[in-house]
Each structure stands twice: as structure tokens, then as C-alpha cells.
Amino acid sequence: MFVPKSHNPALAAILIFAASALIAGTTLLAKALGTDTLGPALHPMQISHGRFMFAFLVIISAVAILRPPLRRPHWGLHIGRTTFGWTGITLMFASVAYIPIADATAISFLNPVFAMVLAIPLLKEGVGPWRWLAAAVALTGALILLRPTPDSFQPAALLALSAAAVIGMELIFIKKLSGKEIPIQILLVNNSMGLTIATVAVVTVWKPPTPEQWAALAGIGVLMACAQACFVNGMARADASFVAPISYATLIFAAFYDFAVFEVVPDIVSVIGSSIILTGALILVWREARARSS
């Protein structure tokens, strides 16, 4: 979890690539838990509870070993970040039970676009024509993935779209937190608060998981904690404009996992919609890089 300050793009690329594989792995396990693959399907709130519970155990263990200097948290920012984060991940886990993992992952890449739009009123940021173009392109791709015709419309894709919007709001709080606290403290507070919210929410839907489901729930938490550690450390070693495109490898891993385990082959609509969303996201990354260098 320790984040050195040395600039190392090669190591950053490896860490972000690893984070992408791990994040895609969490959606695979969430799909297995949300269907009858490992036993009677679990409610998305129970899946997100497992994610926060086991991730918290990993992170609190790391804190006990590393003993980093902790300061008084910015509670208001953490409450906002965690509330939107828990809601977003729960909606995401709900969506992958009904639509291909690759489709849900592609739609989730809209969260920077929603964050950009939300930053206008909340952070008083200006948005130029290139950013609006990127948003329009990405949203067009999402509309294609929704398949808005009577015969092919995917209502569950609206869950993934809602997850992207909510996580976009979470990014606003993350931006406000950046530079105020060390990464491991942010992860510790986020996961402890997330576990509290998830524990209260899961009471009404909880049912005893099978041994296989317990293993999958633990896997989600461990994979997410490791992914967060890889991502935070990767971000610390290279510019965001270099790191962001690498994180889109999550889509490749998601499609591969879905095919390998559930034999789901992306159709032409999925390929076109995902490609358009990625194009919009890359335009946004390029524009941000140009803005920082000017």
C-alpha cells in the first residue's frame, strides 16, 4: 500500500494493467454470485457487503503491518465518497447478472464523463468544446449498448448506466480528497464506512451463502483491495494521461472472462458500442493531457 514518489512509467503500466485484470475479476465473481452458478442467486446488496467486508479485512491488516501515519479524516468528504461508491458498486454488481460483463464494463467507462458534467456546478470547472465532444461520443456508444428498440432493449443496462452516473459523483469527492490524506488512509476510511453502510443495508436481504459463494465473496473483497492498491500506486508513478488509457484494458479482461467462464461472445452491437465509448474516453484523456501541458 506504500506509495513512493519515484516516477516510473513502466512499473505504473504494469500496476494499472494488473489492477484492470483484478477489477474485471470482481465483476466475473459478482456475475457468478448474482446468478445460480454457485448456488441460489445472492442479492446485489449482499454481494457488495461481501466486497466491503473482505476488502476491509485486507486493508486493516495492511495498516496493522505498515503502521502508516494517520490523521483526522475529512469526514464529510468521506461520507459523500463512500455513499456514492457503495451505491455505484451495488448497481454495477446488479447489472452484470443480466447483461454481458463487457457491456457493463464499457458503460462504466462513462463515469469520467458524468464527473466532468457534475464538475461544472459542483467544482465550478469550465468545460470546453473538446470535452463536450468526448461526452457526446461516449454517450452515443452507451445508447447503442442500451439497444433502444422494442425487440432488443436491455433494461438491465440502465443499472450499469446509473452506476456510471453515481460513480461519476464519487469521483467528485475523490478529487476533493486528493492531496488531503495519504492513499492508505483514504482506502481504510472508505472501506470501513462502506462496510458500515453495507451491513445496515444487507440485513433485509441476507441469506446464508454456500461455501462456494463465501469463497467468491472473499475473492471479490481481496481482488478489489489489491486492485485499489495497484491503481493508487500506479497513479503515483506516472501522469494520469499515461495511466488512464491502460485502465481500459479492463474491458478486454471482462470480455475474456465472460467468454471463458460463461461462453458469452460479444455481438457486433457490443463491439461497436464499446468502441465508441472508448473513443470518447480517449478523446477526454487526450484533451486533459493537452490542457496540462499547455
Q: Report the helix count and the strand count for the chain, using DSSP H and E.
A: 12, 0
How far is 248 from 17, CA to CA, in rounded Å? 9
pLDDT tens-digit profile of 221-256? Answer: 999 999 988 887 787 787 766 777 788 889 889 999
Q: Check residues 195 and 151 and name the one with the higher pLDDT.
A: 195
Torsion of CA 147, 170, 222, 55, to 10 degrees: -140
In this model, does residue 89 exceed pLDDT 90?
yes
Torsion of CA 82, 83, 86, 91, to 10 degrees: -140
How far is 24 from 102, CA to CA, in rounded Å? 9
Q: Burial, 10: exposed, middle or buried (Cβ in 10 Å; 0-12, 13-18, 19+)?
A: exposed
pLDDT tens-digit profile of 28-38? Answer: 999 999 999 99
How far is 173 from 193, CA to CA, in rounded Å? 15
How far is 142 from 161, CA to CA, in rounded Å? 8
- Tell me, what's the pLDDT at 294? 63
pLDDT tens-digit profile of 132-170? Answer: 898 899 889 988 988 877 666 788 889 999 999 999 999
The model carries a pTM of 0.87
In this model, does residue 43 exceed pLDDT 90?
yes
- Tell me, what's the pLDDT at 152? 62
- Average confidence (pLDDT) over 254-282: 91
pLDDT tens-digit profile of 65-83? Answer: 999 999 999 999 999 999 9
In this model, does residue 189 exceed pLDDT 80?
yes
Contact predicate 238/13, CB 8 Å: yes
Q: Check residues 118 and 61 and name the one with the higher pLDDT.
A: 61
SS3 string of 232-293? HHHHHHCCHHHHHHHHCHHHHHHHHHHHHHHCCCCCHHHHHHHHHHHHHHHHHHHHHHHHHH
